[in-house]
């Protein structure tokens, strides 16, 4: 079963991926574990091995 709701999420700027520009990360939340993050327009990183399974949601225009 899925559940969706609108939430206000607080983000802090962190250096998450070495050699890439900083990004904005939320606190981790209970489930197994999940976090939200957002990046500024133009943020770019070359392909690399991910340290964990990751899911990305991208806004479209």
What's the CA gap between 15 and 23, in Å, rounded?
Answer: 6
Over residues 28-50, the pLDDT tens digits come to: 777 766 777 777 888 877 777 77
Over residues 52-61, the pLDDT tens digits come to: 666 666 665 5
Contacts 24+ apart (CB under 8 A), 34-40: 36/9, 36/11, 37/11, 38/11
What's the CA gap between 5 and 48, in Å, rounded?
Answer: 32
Look at residue 12 in the predicted model and tell me its pLDDT: 92
């Amino acid at each position: 079963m899925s559940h969706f709701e609108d939430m206000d999420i607080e983000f802090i700027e962190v250096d998450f991926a070495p050699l890439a520009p900083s990004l904005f990360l939320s606190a981790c939340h209970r489930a197994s574990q999940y976090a939200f993050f957002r990046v500024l327009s133009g943020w770019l990183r070359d392909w690399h091995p991910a340290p964990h399974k990751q899911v990305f949601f991208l806004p479209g225009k």
